[in-house]
């Protein structure tokens, strides 16, 4: 019988078995292990090696050996090496060395190794296509989850900080990086880290948070021009002048760009010595950053619409309070005042008079609430809110809620320090009232007047806390 390519036909079943095994194994590493073992067995070699290139084809990938490395043999030892490629794309090499019988490799050996190398190339090509598809799907799902998280972000904490942290965290996870960080332009022309997600120790996190890349850095110029920056060794990259660069190896810094405008940048950094970012990873990272930037813009617009709806609702409530409630209370007060004048019994007139006073105080409180509604919600509690909180906190101790009135634009008349002093004075006065009050509820009136005038004619803000038993009212004043 004719031998296969000059070799014994007995090797054909073993070759076919190897091809079936390699072609059906979805896990590439065991398949290549089996391939190296089969190549050595079919050619009678002592050693075999499968050496692969990385995804970009210009760097080392995996190294699979059967026995010692073929290149570890003595000089003059038989060596046979063929490329692993499919349709002109080079994936690596298959090498066998050291004939067991001490002879040289023949044409049959060369043919067998080439067949195995071809099958290995097909297996590697399929594995990389499946891996690339899974990777793309993962990044697409990650970008979608970022959009969902940003549009449904919690309003109970800083929404901007939350949104940027989501982008940093998800980007780090998708890139399998040690650190993900979002940088925004600062007032000096550089960029500052404003959100970070990292697996590195806390001291590194603290150092990196709010770290700056100065304006003179070429990295900043490139990013602010809308271009991505890639480095295989950020610590040793001459373009890097940031002090935190020493903690990282492979890095990509991609712009967060929407509608031609660069909002900031997303930095994804791996530890020194870890695998560099492949061409596919760089592309996916850039696309993720662009989608994240769009999501950030959409989230801001979504929150703007929600805030606008809140403002419109507050305006409606304020109009209703002014046009309906106050007018009705005022009309009721007029009726009571008429009844008081016509009352024949003094005790009836006094009771009606007290009711009129209560209505006047209620009208003042509603007007204060209207002003607060028209000002809209603030990022931090305003002075009005803090005054009302102190009144609410003292309600139980006083046996009734203090009446609170605001006159004029108090928020605009006092700075933060003076506002804190006013609130502290109010809290002390209310605490004193609750500590010394007689049995039963105490009627306390709090007036914050931003249109007050001092005896010397200067304008001032005046706090008056009155109605505390027979004591003199507490008065605090601040010239403006």
Q: What is the pLDDT of residues 307-362, one digit of tens each?
A: 666 666 667 776 766 666 777 777 777 777 777 777 777 777 777 777 777 777 77
2-6, 54-58, 290-294, 399-403: segment of lowest average pLDDT: 2-6
pLDDT at 157: 41
Here the tokens at position 326 are: 């106050």
With tokens 């607060």, the residue in question is 372
Neighbours of 293 (CB within 10 A): 23
Q: Order across the sheet with 60-66: list the strands.
A: 60-66, 45-53, 89-99, 79-86
Q: Nearest-CA neighbor of 225 among 184, 261, 193?
A: 261
With a cut of 70, say whether residue 129 has pLDDT above it. yes
Contact at 8 Å (CB) between 404 and 393?
no
Share of the chain above pLDDT 90, in %: 7
User: Is residue 181's pLDDT more than 50?
Assistant: yes
Residue 474 forms beta bridges with which residues?
Answer: 465
C-alpha distance from residue 213 to each of 83, 166, 221, 356 (Å)? 45, 22, 11, 66
pLDDT of amino acid 2: 34
Q: Is residue 159 over pLDDT 70?
A: no
Q: Flag whether pLDDT at 472 surpasses 90.
A: no
The whole-angstrom separation of Cα 181 and Cα 168 is 5
Choice among 15-29, 109-123, 441-455 with the minimum mean pLDDT: 15-29
Report the pLDDT averaged over residues 170-178: 90
Q: What would the 3-class secondary structure string for the chain be?
A: CCCECCECHHHHHHHHHHHHHHHHCCCHHHHHHHHHHHHHHHHCEEEEEEEEECCCCCCEEEEEEECCCHHHCCCCCCEEEEEEEECCEEEEEEEEEEECCCCCCCHHHHHHHHHHHHHHHHHHHHHHHHHHHHHHHHHHHHHHHHHHHHHCCCCCCCHHHHHHHHHHHHHHHHHCCCEEEEEEECCCCCEEEEEEEECCCHHHHHHHCCCEECCCCHHHHHHHCCCCEEECCCCCCCCCCCHHHHHCCCEEEEEEEECCEEEEEEEEECCCCCCCCCHHHHHHHHHHHHHHHHHHHHHHHHHHHHHHHHHHHHHHHHHHHHHHHHHHHHHHHHHHHHHHHHCCCHHHHHHHHHHHHHHHHHHHHHHHHHHHHHHCCCCCCCHHHHHHHHHHHCHHHHCCCCEEEEECCHHHHCCHHHHHHHHHHHHHHHHHHHHHCCCCCCCCEEEEEEEEECCCCCEEEEEEEECCCCCCCEEEEEEC
Mean of pLDDT values over 249-265: 87
Cα separation, 74 vs 339, in Å, equals 121
CA distance 51 to 192: 43
pLDDT digits (tens, 9 = 90+) for 201-237: 888 778 877 788 888 888 888 888 888 989 888 888 8
pLDDT over 70 (residue 33): yes
Q: Compute the distance between CA of residue 48 and CA of residue 189 in angstroms, rounded to an integer.
A: 57
As given in the structure block, the two tokens for residue 172 are: 């780090």
Average predicted confidence (pLDDT) for the chain: 78
**Rounded to an integer, what distance in angstroms lies between the CA atom of residue 23 and that of residue 122?**
8
Specify which of 70-79, 262-271, 306-315, 345-354 reaches the highest per-range mean pLDDT: 262-271
Give pLDDT tens digits for 291-315.
888 777 766 665 566 666 666 666 7
Which tens digits make up the pLDDT trace of 399-453?
A: 777 888 888 778 778 888 888 899 999 988 888 877 766 666 677 888 999 889 9
Mean pLDDT of 57-78: 71
Q: What percent of the chain has pLDDT over 70?
A: 78
């Amino acid at each position: 019988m004719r031998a296969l390519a000059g070799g014994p036909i007995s090797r054909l079943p073993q070759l076919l078995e190897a091809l079936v095994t390699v072609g059906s194994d979805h896990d590439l590493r065991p398949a290549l292990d089996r391939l190296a073992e089969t190549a050595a067995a079919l050619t009678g070699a002592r050693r075999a090696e499968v050496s692969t290139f990385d995804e970009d084809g210009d760097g080392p990938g995996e190294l699979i050996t059967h026995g010692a490395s073929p290149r570890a043999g003595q000089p003059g030892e038989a060596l046979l090496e063929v490329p692993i490629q499919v349709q002109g794309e080079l994936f690596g090499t298959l090498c066998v060395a050291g004939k067991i019988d001490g002879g040289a490799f023949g044409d049959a050996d060369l043919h067998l190794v080439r067949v195995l190398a071809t099958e290995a190339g097909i297996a590697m090509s399929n594995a990389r296509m499946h891996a690339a598809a899974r990777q793309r799907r993962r990044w697409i799902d990650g970008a979608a989850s970022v959009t969902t998280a940003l549009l449904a972000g919690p309003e109970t904490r800083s929404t901007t900080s939350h949104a940027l942290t989501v982008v940093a965290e998800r980007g780090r996870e998708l890139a399998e990086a040690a650190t993900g960080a979002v940088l925004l332009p600062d007032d000096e022309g550089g960029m500052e880290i404003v959100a970070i997600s990292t697996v590195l120790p806390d001291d590194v996190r603290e150092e990196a948070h709010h770290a700056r890349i100065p304006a003179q850095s070429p990295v900043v110029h490139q990013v602010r021009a809308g271009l991505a920056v890639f480095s295989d060794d950020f610590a040793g990259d001459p373009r890097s002048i940031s002090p935190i660069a020493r903690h990282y190896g492979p890095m990509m810094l991609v712009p967060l760009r929407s509608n031609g405008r660069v909002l900031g940048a997303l930095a994804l950094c791996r530890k020194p010595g870890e695998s560099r970012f492949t061409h596919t990873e760089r592309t996916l990272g850039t696309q993720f950053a662009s989608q994240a930037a769009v999501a950030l813009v959409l989230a801001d617009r979504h929150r703007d619409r929600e805030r606008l709806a809140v403002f419109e609702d507050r305006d409606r409530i304020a109009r209703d309070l002014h046009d309906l409630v106050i007018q009705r209370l005022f009309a009721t007060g007029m009726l009571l005042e008429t009844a008081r004048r016509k009352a024949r019994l003094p005790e009836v007139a006094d009771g009606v008079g007290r009711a009129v006073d209560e209505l006047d105080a209620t009208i003042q409180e509603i007007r204060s609430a209207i002003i607060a509604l028209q000002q809209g919600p603030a990022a931090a509690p305003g002075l009005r809110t803090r005054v009302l909180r102190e009144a609410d906190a003292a309600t139980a101790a006083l046996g009734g809620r203090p009446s609170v009135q605001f006159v004029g634009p108090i928020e605009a008349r006092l700075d933060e320090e003076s506002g804190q002093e006013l609130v502290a004075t109010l809290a002390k006065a209310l605490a004193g009232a609750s500590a010394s009050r007689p049995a039963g509820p105490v009627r306390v009136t709090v007036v914050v007047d931003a249109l007050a005038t001092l005896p010397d004619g200067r304008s001032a803000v005046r706090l008056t806390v009155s109605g505390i038993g027979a004591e003199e009212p507490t008065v605090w004043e601040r010239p403006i």
